[in-house]
Chain A
Amino acid sequence: MEAKKGETYKVLKEKMTISQEIKDNLKTFTQIKKSILNALKERRMTVPELSKAIDMSTDRTMYYLMTLLKYGFVVVDEIDDMDEYFYYKLKNNG
């Protein structure tokens, strides 16, 4: 198959099989991203609050929330009254 500029991935796609692990990873990330962004649509939250809202452990919530912060979906808001946890909110919903 000849490679057309801008569509070269099609050439590799014919030669390579995408593993189930890679597909599962994409599915997991997409689901978690959606649930975090949906939860933050309601109101700003700290990591423990978000963890409860999406029913996921705090360490995994922290990892995915910080990843979404890096990707630009989420921004940091104020710190709580006890100076312990930051609030996070959607980038365009603050």
Chain B
Amino acid sequence: MPENNKTIEYDALIIGGGIAGGEAALNLANVGYKVLIVEKDLSIGGKMILLSKVFPTLDCSACITTPKVSEIMRHPNITVFTSTQASNIIKKDDGTFEATITKQPRYVIAEDCTGCQLCEQACPVSVDDQFQYNLVGRKAAYIPFSIASPRIAAIDIANCTLCGACERACPTKCIDFTQTVETYSLKAKTVIIATGFQLFDPTLIPRYGYGKFKNVITAMQMERQLAPTRPFNTILRPSDGKMPDNIAYILCTGSRDKTVGNPICSQVCCMYSTKQAQLLMGALPMADITLYYLNIRAFGKGFNEFYAQAQAMGVQFTKGKVAKITEKENGNLLLRYEDINGGGVVKETEHDMVVLSVGILPNQGIAELFSNDELVLDPYNYIGQSDFLASPAQTSIKGVFVAGVASGPMDIPDSILSAGSASSDAANYIRHLNKKTVSV
């Protein structure tokens, strides 16, 4: 057990520093409440900070996210703990909460790091870069990604050889291998769960060959290839560096599919695939892009126009379920599918790259964070909304609210709206608690 147990007190604990958690934190902080964000990763910004552009406006995602995360980091009422997790959350009789906060060491003194990357240059170790979805390597001493917030180095101790090169290279001597796990006892008046989502693992559908066929990639890997901070110099096939000119998308990979345990629609795949198709038409003007779909769900504001725009640009939409992918010797891929609008005929087409539009799944283990009260989940393991119409942020525990995709699949604008609802309910809850304390 680490010795450095300190007691800390905030008005609100927000679990998750993605766009929903960050928005909820800003809303509460702007009305004067003290907020603690605990983020399990090295940077806040969640998945949004890694996207290229957003649909249907095609605004640059980083251009929206970076000012937001910067505001969160600089806000006097917000404290951010990265590489940190909350556990053992207990609701007290007076309506407040206690929790254990566990902060993993970064092995870098955050206040002294200038983000100069000299440690990164000196480090001899290279491992898969999780922020580029393993398309390239990164060092064991590294800045997570160029627009990370906080933009400070971290040591990947699990892969470090302890050669000391980073320490010798650091001009401010901020690398500190003596750092240990820090634990805090937190007292808070309310809790907001903004734990986001995980992406479906496409290796669970072996007939698509992900992991085996190098030119079958996920939409998140394509998203990275389309971003300005991309892993390659342009959009290239991971198998051999060829510029692709015939790309296929397979929609509903791991969504609306009982066989993989996720029968519901992920809400975002149709539109992010349509967005990527449009971006690819811009980046590779000579390329053919085909989307294989079951139904196009263009339900939001401007979505149908966005879909029509993609069709007008020449993106091919083929209604058909892809049964199987096989790989040719040159790395090209043969897609066997049922052409539903073409009389149900089984066809085979060749593409030089396939993108799997993977669905989204709830993060596991959130209910287990609560010790003395049950956090009820919905049938699909998202956080249950106890009174969806009156208060979509309310969970089964009074004083615990949910924001963003933790409550179910939704896009970025809906996540931000959901964060607004959660922060408004949380502010009300704190006000009631404060009134009670004053009247006593």
Which of A26, A46, A70 is B136 in contact with, Cβ under 8 Å?
A70
Enumerate chain A residues within 8 angstroms of B136, measured Cβ to Cβ: 63, 66-67, 70
With A and B bound together, what is the CA distance between A11 and B162 in angstroms?
Answer: 10
Q: In the complex, identify which listed stretch (B4-12, B62-70, B171-179, B269-277) lies at the interface while the others stay far away.
A: B171-179
**Helix, strand, loop or mixed for chain B's interface?**
loop
Cβ–Cβ contact A26 & B232, under 8 A:
no
Cβ–Cβ contact B126 & A9, under 8 A:
no
Cβ–Cβ contact A59 & B238, under 8 A:
yes
A50 to chain B, nearest CB (A): 9
Enumerate chain B residues within 8 angstroms of A72, measured Cβ to Cβ: 121
Say yes or no: is B345 at the interface (Cβ < 8 Å to chain A): no
Cβ–Cβ contact A86 & B233, under 8 A:
yes
With A and B bound together, what is the CA distance between A9 and B238 in angstroms?
Answer: 36
Q: A22-B161, A58-B241, A84-B242 are in contact. Are A66 and B167 (CB under 8 A)?
A: no
Cβ–Cβ contact B161 & A29, under 8 A:
no
A17 to chain B, nearest CB (A): 10
B53 to chain A, nearest CB (A): 22
Say yes or no: is B168 at the interface (Cβ < 8 Å to chain A): yes
Enumerate chain B residues within 8 angstroms of A29, measured Cβ to Cβ: 124-126, 137
Q: A46-B241, A48-B240, A58-B241 are in contact. Are A12 and B178 (CB under 8 A)?
A: yes
0/1 per residue, B134-150, Cβ < 8 Å to A? Answer: 01111100000000000
Q: A9-B167, A58-B241 are in contact. Are A66 and B162 (CB under 8 A)?
A: no
Enumerate chain B residues within 8 angstroms of A37, measured Cβ to Cβ: none
Enumerate chain B residues within 8 angstroms of A79, measured Cβ to Cβ: 243
Enumerate chain B residues within 8 angstroms of A6, measured Cβ to Cβ: 167-168, 170, 173
Q: A26-B124, A29-B126, A63-B136 are in contact. Are A10 and B164 (CB under 8 A)?
A: yes
Which of A8, A13, A22, A58 is B240 in contact with, Cβ under 8 Å?
A58
Cβ–Cβ contact A8 & B176, under 8 A:
yes
0/1 per residue, A41-54, Cβ < 8 Å to B? Answer: 00000111001000
0/1 per residue, B146-172, Cβ < 8 Å to A? Answer: 000000000000011111100110100
Enumerate chain A residues within 8 angstroms of B434, measured Cβ to Cβ: none
Cβ–Cβ contact A66 & B232, under 8 A:
yes
Which of A9, A51, A66 is B231 in contact with, Cβ under 8 Å?
A66
Cβ–Cβ contact A18 & B162, under 8 A:
yes
Cβ–Cβ contact A76 & B233, under 8 A:
yes
Cβ–Cβ contact A9 & B163, under 8 A:
yes
Cβ–Cβ contact B124 & A13, under 8 A:
no
0/1 per residue, B113-143, Cβ < 8 Å to A? Answer: 0000000010011110000000111110000
Which of the four size classes fits the interface of chain B?
A: 35 or more
Enumerate chain A residues within 8 angstroms of B125, measured Cβ to Cβ: 22, 25-26, 29
Q: A5-B173, A9-B167, A66-B136 are in contact. Are A16 and B241 (CB under 8 A)?
A: no
Q: A7-B167, A10-B164, A26-B125 are in contact. Are A83 and B243 (CB under 8 A)?
A: yes
Enumerate chain A residues within 8 angstroms of B243, measured Cβ to Cβ: 79, 83-86
Say yes or no: is A92 at the interface (Cβ < 8 Å to chain B): no
Enumerate chain B residues within 8 angstroms of A7, measured Cβ to Cβ: 164, 167
B102 to chain A, nearest CB (A): 20
Say yes or no: is B398 at the interface (Cβ < 8 Å to chain A): no
Cβ–Cβ contact A67 & B126, under 8 A:
yes
Say yes or no: is A62 at the interface (Cβ < 8 Å to chain B): yes
Enumerate chain B residues within 8 angstroms of A71, measured Cβ to Cβ: 121, 126, 139
> Can you pick out 20 interface pairs between chain A and chain B where the beta carbons lie within 8 Å of each other?
A3-B176, A6-B167, A8-B176, A8-B177, A9-B164, A9-B167, A12-B178, A25-B125, A29-B126, A58-B331, A59-B238, A63-B135, A64-B137, A66-B231, A67-B136, A69-B233, A71-B139, A76-B233, A83-B243, A84-B243
Supply 13 further A-B pairs (C-beta < 8 A) apart from A6-B168, A9-B162, A72-B121: A8-B167, A8-B175, A9-B175, A25-B127, A26-B124, A48-B240, A62-B238, A65-B241, A66-B136, A67-B126, A67-B136, A79-B243, A84-B242
Residues of A at the B interface (CB closer than 8 Å) are 3, 5-13, 16, 18, 22-23, 25-26, 29-30, 46-48, 51, 58-59, 62-67, 69-72, 76, 79, 83-86
7 tightest Cβ-Cβ pairs between the two chains A and B? A47-B241, A67-B137, A58-B240, A8-B177, A9-B164, A12-B177, A59-B214
